[in-house]
Chain A
Amino acid sequence: MSTMTLDAAGRTEAAQSELTGGQIAASAEVRKTVGKPFCDTAKLRMRNVNVFYGEAQAIHSVSLDIGRNQVVAMIGPSGCGKSTFLRCLNRMNDTIEGCRVEGELSLDGDPIYGPKVDVVPLRARVGMVFQKPNPFPKSIYENVAYGPKIHGIASRRADLDEIVESSLRRAGLWNEVKDRLDKPGTGLSGGQQQRLCIARAIAVSPEVILMDEPCSALDPIATARIEELIDELRENYTIAIVTHSMQQAARVSQRTAYFHLGRLVEVNDTETVFTNPEHELTEAYITGRFG
């Protein structure tokens, strides 16, 4: 395991990189994150994040800002730690036994980890959409109303109706389901289920939405629908999305972060990453030489 040192800018420097397995011929080293990991309008601020699963280290000293009303895409080969990193942002890793997170993470200046932090309001502020659509085995209405109910956002039925309708409208699902709100959410198609999950997430009015490969189980038409939706949601929310599709990252995001073997290699404007990558690993990945 390599030793880590910090320079003045708080960036990480690996004394020696450990690219094993000969995935790439060039002896590229991940000394520090190149590009622009920080931004002025940071909504989420992460500094020197290390994640361990038991003894194994999954994330090596990652620092990154996610700006307000911005879509940040995280790309990289399988097992590079991008989902693990995403799940740190609303502490979903807490449910995994033996998982330990180090570093400073904050949401609008409020710490995310720490003994005094209550995860319940945190998760209400940072919503999540998962890889596989996971509607509850309840009616469509109950699925969307679940969050507002547990957080006491709406006490009267009329308010709740309004939240359900506006969430479904914003998720672009209202017209398809308005006549069958009492039917089970599990009876919808895959794409509709995923939009239902997005509606469920925005019903609690979060500030940030995390999306972990939200389209990987969907067909191209449903995918296009979700991508359109992400673009619309950007007006009101900050979005971090993990994706395996570089086209998707290019279409929906403003900034793109490239992860490799648990390290953040490069962060730049999406256009720069896909047209003029700074790091050779990034270039190798986006040109399809490995991944």
Chain B
Amino acid sequence: MQTPTLFALLLLLILVAYGTGFSRALSAARSLGGLRNLASLPSYYGIFAALWCGLPALILLGAWLIFDDAIIRAMVLNSVADKPETISGQNLLYAQIQNLAAGHMLGEATPRLQEAADHLSQLRSSSNNMQAFMSLILAVGLGAFALLRFSPQLRAREKVEKVLRAILIACACAAIFTTVGILFSVLFESLRFFQSVPVTEFLFGLHWSPQMALRADQVGSSGAFGAVPLFTGTLMVSAIAMFVAVPIGLMAAIYLAEYASKRVRAVAKPILEILAGVPTVVYGFFAALTVAPFIRDLATSVGLEASSESALAAGLVMGIMIIPFVSSLSDDVINAVPQSLRDGALGLGSTHSETVRKVVIPAALPGIVGGVLLAVSRAIGETMIVVMAAGLAANLTANPLESVTTVTVQIVTLLVGDQEFDSPKTLAAFALGLMLFVTTLVLNFIALHVVKKYREQYD
């Protein structure tokens, strides 16, 4: 039986279990004289039966789908007489067997392979049948068991809620374990990288040129993994972006929160937030095709030398992208400042702008700082605009008119195309990723801490 059919069948069984549980509870209630005589509402009896019927069967099915390929593979390879010693050899052999079984094999198949392929097909079909049989038996058996356990005293609600809580915990854990998993995979690959390149060279080296020689006689390709130019590049682009985003975003927020009438606010705020919804690749074109040439021409006309891909172009456009983050967060924080403080200041004869400058903004400052730090981590992690507008050259420079490259851009270029996972070139991406992860983690941590501290200030 095909897996989708099996799923549909299981679903049907679950519905039947729910309906039966529900109607049994209803009829029991009727004979006892009202729903009050049941320990729980009828729908809980239905869900109780449905959970017993569906959950174990679905878990079994899921586990089967995850593990059956590995088990079948081991069984097939064990049955082959003279299998290769190396893992790659075994992979090759198994791929041949799979192709043969699926009928894609070109050329003549040896009897040994043919035998293994037949074995594979047979194992697969029996696994399929077993899986359908087992899960259906489980669903029917446990569903019937749950229905047999039915009595008006059964506390179905408590049991259902326990299961629901377990499901919620499982979902929360899935998110956390994914983060931990990503962190560890990056960490282990980074450790492999640091076996071939010393940590000190990576952290303090001034030269970045990750191309490795394939042959010893190739020119200029010994590979250098000093990450300092990347970090200065990241820093410069982010700094330019914040230089644009913080004043504009903050002032827009002040206007929206303090001066704009309700009608203007209702229109302007969503429009500003649309900026956050523009895909970064669109900002990328804008930076690469409009802003960068404009800056180059402008610089040339005043007698400066500018490359056509510049840190300035990427930074400016990224700053525009980040404006809604800063303005939206600051707007919320400014709105959270109690009206009583504004009244107090106005009642003393402050003008509106004095009230904003001397009372509202200082009161909101910790929250604004938190918002800005979140925007900084967004700027550091931004990739697409920089790939398109800032270039790939790892220049160690303080001139924003030159092209620079950032950590994220290098990760992209290192991992695009064919890779070999044992060369430092590819592994360097993981080390960079780890650095980035740590940096944004620290920034977010500080930001959350600042925001939390701010919340304690009033009340």
Could you list which residues of chain A lie within 8 angstroms of chain B, going by C-beta atoms? 90, 92, 95, 97, 119-124, 127-128, 130, 132, 134-138, 146-147, 150-151, 186, 197, 200-201, 204
Question: Which of B262, B343, B354, B458 contacts A150, CB < 8 Å?
Answer: B354
Could you say which residues of chain A place their CB within 8 Å of the CB of B264? none
Question: Which of A97, A121, A127, A136 contacts B359, CB < 8 Å?
Answer: A136
Q: Is the CB of B359 within 8 A of A150?
A: no
Question: Which of B344, B349, B351 contacts A136, CB < 8 Å?
Answer: B344
Q: Is the CB of A201 within 8 A of B338?
A: no
Q: Is the CB of B348 within 8 A of A123?
A: yes
Could you say which residues of chain A place their CB within 8 Å of the CB of B457? 137, 186
Chain A, residue nearest B360 (CB): A136
Chain B, interface size: which category?
20 to 34
Q: How many A-B residue pairs have CB under 8 A?
A: 69
Chain B, residue nearest A125 (CB): B349
Q: A95-B342, A130-B340 are in contact. Are A136 and B347 (CB under 8 A)?
A: no
Q: Is the CB of A130 within 8 A of B344?
A: yes
Chain A, residue nearest B459 (CB): A186
Question: Which of A95, A132, A146, A186 contacts B348, CB < 8 Å?
Answer: A146
Q: Is the CB of A92 within 8 A of B346?
A: yes
Could you say which residues of chain A place their CB within 8 Å of the CB of B34? none
Question: Which of B341, B344, B349, B358 contacts A120, CB < 8 Å?
Answer: B349
Q: Is the CB of B362 within 8 A of A120?
A: no
Could you list which residues of chain B lie within 8 angstroms of chain A, going by C-beta atoms? 261-262, 338, 340-351, 354, 358-359, 362-363, 457-458
| Distance to closest chain A CB from B12 (angstroms) | 59
| Distance to closest chain B CB from A117 (angstroms) | 13
Could you say which residues of chain B place their CB within 8 Å of the CB of A120? 349-351
Q: Is the CB of B362 within 8 A of A123?
A: no
Could you say which residues of chain B place their CB within 8 Å of the CB of A124? 348-349
Q: A134-B340, A136-B359, A137-B363 are in contact. Are A95 and B345 (CB under 8 A)?
A: no
Could you say which residues of chain A place their CB within 8 Å of the CB of B261? 97
Q: A95-B346, A123-B349 are in contact. Are A138 and B354 (CB under 8 A)?
A: no
State A178–B340 Cα separation when bound (angstroms): 26
| Distance to closest chain A CB from B262 (angstroms) | 7
Could you say which residues of chain A place their CB within 8 Å of the CB of B344? 130, 134-136, 197, 200
Could you say which residues of chain A place their CB within 8 Å of the CB of B349? 119-124, 147, 150-151, 204
Q: Is the CB of B362 within 8 A of A200?
A: no
Chain A, residue nearest B350 (CB): A150
Count chain B CB atoms within 10 A of each CB in A123, A127, A132, A135 and give the residue with the most. Answer: A123
Q: Is the CB of A97 within 8 A of B348?
A: no
Offer 10 A-B interface pairs, CB within 8 angstroms, sorted by A: A95-B343, A121-B349, A127-B348, A130-B343, A137-B457, A138-B362, A146-B348, A151-B349, A186-B458, A200-B348
State A130–B340 Cα separation when bound (angstroms): 8
Q: Is the CB of B348 within 8 A of A204?
A: yes
| Distance to closest chain A CB from B257 (angstroms) | 14
Count chain A CB atoms within 10 A of each CB in B261, B344, B349, B354 and give the residue with the most. Answer: B349
Enumerate the 9 nearest inter-chain pairs by beta-carbon distance, A residue then B residue, closest first.
Answer: A124-B349, A128-B347, A123-B349, A134-B340, A134-B344, A147-B348, A137-B363, A120-B349, A150-B354
Q: A120-B351, A136-B341 are in contact. Are A150 and B346 (CB under 8 A)?
A: no
